[in-house]
Amino acid sequence: MNTASHLHTFSQLERLPVLPEAATKLLQTLEDENVNQQDIILDLSRDFSLTCKLLRIANSSFYGLTYHVASIHDALMILGSRTVHSLAIASLLTAHLYKWVDSIDGIKQFFNTALENAIYSQLLARHISFQSDVAFTAGLLHDIGKLAIAIEFPAYSKSILAQNQSSRSITTEINGKTRHFLYSDVSRNILNYWHIPSEIQDAVQHHCETLRKDTDILTLLVAAAALLSNRADGINQRIEMLQTQTVLWDRLELSKDILEELEKKAQESLIEILDIVKSFPETKGTI
């Protein structure tokens, strides 16, 4: 089934929360290729919570700076506009996810995995001198379709959000007919709805497919990150799995030593950044 042709069956696109005016303006500004830096800084300054988070992340060990970042201008230079864009979306998600889905634990697990994938994507991108901010965004949003389906079918939300990275689809009944939805296809439709750049949409949609020698680098980065962030396996098992993926192993210039070092850095960064960006209530209905 082509999920795009059945997009009308997903009312979740209409149920996604409307962004506050300042946040909407910020995302529109970040999407504008011709925008100047002062416009971005001005829009960022209107969202105090996001500004604080960005400054804390810029000063985190993940970026390893030897000096303190005290201004939005410097934070923007360090993080990049696309990372700011993805963190703005992440901030929105952490503020609203608990309103959409009954399973608080499932939401936490989903977001933790998404952020871990973003971190792995960015670290791998740095390793091969690729655009790390683009990789972070693609990694963060790589499985957003799973969340959309959990919203649409709340009876399955807990089990859907608890699925590991290898789970790619769900089969369910809609109006008495069996429908099969690929998470990656739904993810692409969500990202298109959010006006995320097409290169990120492509990587999110295709990272679970068979990888070829001509597969674009961003898709390879997201695919490798998905394997590395699969907590069902230990690091040695994940490295062995990557070794069997010759295209990933060769084109991303991987080795056992590199992956072991990357794993250590990723876990340290995950703990630090989660402490900054997440804001889940302990029970549904509280803030």
How confident is the model over 132-158, as pLDDT tens digits? 888 988 998 888 887 777 777 666 666
Check if the beta carbon of residue 104 is closer than 8 Å to that of residue 112: no
Report the C-alpha dihedral over residues 20, 24, 25, 27, rounded to 10 degrees.
140
pLDDT in tens, 229-285: 876 678 889 999 999 999 999 999 999 999 999 999 999 988 888 777 665 444 444
Phi, psi of 181, rounded to the nearest 5 degrees? -120, 125
pLDDT in tens, 193-228: 777 788 999 999 999 888 999 999 999 999 999 999
- What's the whole-model pTM score? 0.77
* 176 pLDDT higher than 90: no
3-class DSSP string for 82-106: HHHHHHHHHHHHHHHHHHHCCCHHH
Check if the beta carbon of residue 25 is closer than 8 Å to that of residue 43: yes
With cut-offs at 50, 70 and 90, classify the pLDDT of residue 4. very low
Q: What is the DSSP string of 195-229?
A: T--HHHHHHHHHTTSPP-TTS-HHHHHHHHHHHHT
Q: Distance between CA atoms of 268 and 61, rounded to whole angstroms?
A: 8
**CATH class label, 7-277:** mainly alpha
Extents of the domains making up the chain = 7-277
